[in-house]
Chains A and B, each alone.
Chain A
Amino acid sequence: MVGEDAFCCTGCEVAWSLVHEAGLDAYYARRDEAGTRPAPLTGAWESVPFTELADGSCEVTLQVDGLRCASCTWVVESLVGQQAGVHDATVSYATGRTRVRFEPDAVSVRALADTIAKLGYSPRPLDAPAPRDDLLARLGVAAFCTANLMLLSVSLYAGWGPGMEARFQTLFQWGSLALATPIAAYAAAPFFHSAYRGLRAGAVGMDVPIAIAVTVLYAHGAFRTLNGAEGYLDSLGMLVTLLLVGRVLERRGRRAAADAAAAIASSLPVQTRRRTETGVEDVPVDALVAGDVVELGLGDEVPVDGTVIHGQASIQMAILTGEAEPVSVGIGGEVVAGASVLAGAVAVRVDKVGEDTLAHRLAAAVRAATDRPLPPNPADRLAPAFTIVTLTLAGLAGAAWALMAGPERGIEVGVAVLVVACPCALGLSVPLAVASGLGAVARRGVVFQDGGRLLALAGVRTVVMDKTGTVTGGTPAVLSADDDVLARAASLERSSRHPIARAILAECERRGLALPLATDVSELPGSGIEGRLNGEWLRLTSAGPGAVVLQSESGVSGVIRLGDQPRDDAAAAIAQLHAAGIRTQLLSGDHPEVTAAVGQALGLDAALGSITPEGKAEHIDALRRDGPVAFIGDGLNDGAALAAADVGLAMHSGVTSSVLLADAVVTRAALRPLVAAVAGARATEAAVKSNLTRAIVYNIAAIAAAMFGLINPLVAAILMPLSSAWVVIGALSVDRRIDRMETEWTS
């Protein structure tokens, strides 16, 4: 069914025979898009961590990039799953995360990755496999036990007035204790673990007062139940359940951010063509050394930093300049790794490889800069003081009452202080408000790596923006041209990869113009394109920034004006930022005039052009003296600026690895999400502050009342959930606050 000469390359043939031998020919019926050329496997596959499962088999998680459709997941799962020594493979189409269960004696992780790579997908080792924890199971247990505990406790409380048969009272009390035991022993275990870990490391976090509260509540309840009294264990259930809800929300937010980052792979090529004495050979980029000569043609990405020794090409250096507009590079010109050849062909002498290339150095500089510590969670900062103050007050009150009214009353008051000094409101105040803020902002198109970075955005005074790809769409668009000129130009540009060609073709399609077929088309690297249309000779050349000219034998026949258009919502978003009291600046590697024009059109406070990647970082450092600065950009060349700013936001254009280095990713091609993020950060900060205030006010009032012996355990049991509910309501207000702020800034 497939002829011998039907393959475009040996890679396809290998993949086909793999698929064919495995009896999976159905793949070709299922796929809806042709595959890509397989790249050889690179990376340290020998040391990939995997986990041993209970049944003796092992499990490894790989990130597989390049999955395009549901049948990609099917073929990877089936082929890997059929390999000897593999139990099964599960591929998540949404995230590309692939989980393989295998026998380490029979097959190596490298062999698994090799199978995937041979199919044309790119497997990557994941640094740390996501730990599977029991948090959800613990929350389930806590919620189940607490719901039933409430049922029994409410019955007991209701029975106080009219009276209750003693045997039912006993049944309910012991039932409560039975339900509270799994809560304290199983559901609350994470708090004990992390409190213990913290104490051993000499740090008192929020988990320490929580662990103390759980212990005191349970011991007190158990003691009272054994003595035939009501144990007030429902407070324990509410405390643990609500705190676990906070934890689960917090973790889900973090995971969503990690997935967003993992979905973007590095853009450097892994294979290239090296010139040899007799011809050209395919080699992995890792094998190149300085002095080698590589040949690059149309569509290739430059794998190394080097100098052109032969030929001429139009090369897009967005990695260095951030501009989509290609530059013409001839003999003696320098190219950098990560740039791509849009037209022409060149031979490049390798100057620097691997770690020494500009792309690697930029990434390394950024990584070093992002090691800046995050602001600590405000509740964790309060925790040590809270713990010490509560314990001291409980001791003092207990001692005082013991002296006045005997030791029994002393213990009772001491316990009451510990019980009402509920860390619940304090422990929940921040995670709930932050989780609610992260969720609200994510729904509006910005995914933050974690809550600390979101809160950092609240205090920002200046927002610095990159021009190309951030404020503007990043690719040129046709501003004005006659239909006739456009159609003739498009015929020439039909198969060109140049951004201008694509803009012209896109505009033609939008206008619905027919494309006559041109002949004898040849690209003039770096200057234009020429060919014949209906026998007439035509040439399309650049005429300065923002314009191309169509020439025929009889002279100039038309001009097409092009420009990088600002995003539709840019002006509105910038006006909203100004209304929010934030200064805006535009920094670009583009011509100062073009930058200034965009800046003026959109009403930015300042617009500076011709700025290098390092220059952007320095400028931001200078601005930081006047208050926190946020930076929003898109290219890898923005990496240093993203790291230098207090908050770095990356536009998710799908090709940049800078996303990995940013604090947040804007998931929509628009500027509006930035405004929502600022509003979200301020709303979250306000909610955190008001929640902390509520928690502190509650604790001061409750502790004081308990110290004076005014609070009995029933009052405490009612107050505790009320204080938590108060905090929950505070957190839920974030969404409303964002909408209100955005509306306020619009007018």
Chain B
Amino acid sequence: MDILTLLIPIALTLGAAFAILFILAARNGQFEDLDDPALRMLQDDE
């Protein structure tokens, strides 16, 4: 069971990395407009 001492911190660190990514995405406004990107996709870029 000693492995727990290693695995729990690793799991928490991994989770924390994703939590930080989520904070960055939320601050960046990724979740502000959930309707337009779907329409925008249909336009081809010049």
Binding site for B on A (CB under 8 A): 26, 70-71, 74, 92-94, 132, 134, 136-137, 140-141, 144-145, 148, 165, 167-168, 171, 175, 178-179
A165 pairs with B1, CB closer than 8 A: yes
Partner of B36, one of A92, A134, A145, A165: A92
What residues of chain A lie closer than 8 Å to B27, measured between beta carbons? 132, 134, 137
Q: Which residues of chain B from 4 to 43 have a CB within 8 Å of any chain A CB?
A: 4-5, 8, 12, 15-16, 18-19, 22-23, 26-27, 29, 31-33, 35-36, 39-40, 42-43
B43 pairs with A175, CB closer than 8 A: no
A137 pairs with B36, CB closer than 8 A: no
B23 pairs with A171, CB closer than 8 A: no
Give the one of B8, B15, B27 with max A CB within 10 A: B8
Closest partner residue, chain A, to B11 (CB atom): A148
What residues of chain A lie closer than 8 Å to B8, measured between beta carbons? 171, 175
What residues of chain A lie closer than 8 Å to B23, measured between beta carbons? 134, 137, 140-141
Listed A/B pairs (30) with beta-carbon separation below 8 Å: A70-B42, A71-B43, A74-B43, A92-B33, A92-B35, A93-B35, A93-B36, A94-B35, A94-B39, A134-B23, A134-B26, A134-B27, A136-B26, A136-B31, A137-B27, A140-B19, A140-B22, A140-B23, A140-B26, A144-B16, A144-B18, A144-B19, A144-B22, A145-B19, A167-B5, A168-B1, A168-B4, A171-B4, A178-B12, A179-B12
Closest partner residue, chain B, to A171 (CB atom): B5
Cα-based distance from A141 to B24 in the complex (angstroms): 11
* Interface contacts beyond A92-B35, A132-B32, A144-B18: sample of 17 additional A-B pairs, CB < 8 Å, sorted by A: A26-B46, A71-B43, A74-B43, A93-B39, A94-B33, A94-B39, A132-B29, A134-B26, A136-B31, A137-B22, A140-B22, A140-B26, A145-B19, A165-B1, A167-B5, A168-B4, A175-B8
What residues of chain A lie closer than 8 Å to B12, measured between beta carbons? 148, 175, 178-179
What residues of chain B lie closer than 8 Å to A165, measured between beta carbons? 1
Chain B: interface residue total (CB-CB under 8 A): 24
Closest partner residue, chain B, to A165 (CB atom): B1
Nearest 4 pairs between A and B by C-beta?
Answer: A137-B26, A137-B23, A94-B35, A144-B19
Cα-based distance from A93 to B18 in the complex (angstroms): 31
Binding site for A on B (CB under 8 A): 1, 4-5, 8, 12, 15-16, 18-19, 22-23, 26-27, 29, 31-33, 35-36, 39-40, 42-43, 46
What residues of chain B lie closer than 8 Å to A144, measured between beta carbons? 15-16, 18-19, 22
Closest partner residue, chain B, to A152 (CB atom): B8
Cα-based distance from A137 to B5 in the complex (angstroms): 29
Q: How far is the CB of B12 from chain A (nearest CB, A)?
A: 6
Closest partner residue, chain B, to A175 (CB atom): B8
A148 pairs with B15, CB closer than 8 A: yes
Q: How far is the CB of B23 from chain A (nearest CB, A)?
A: 4
What residues of chain A lie closer than 8 Å to B35, measured between beta carbons? 92-94
Q: How far is the CB of B8 from chain A (nearest CB, A)?
A: 6
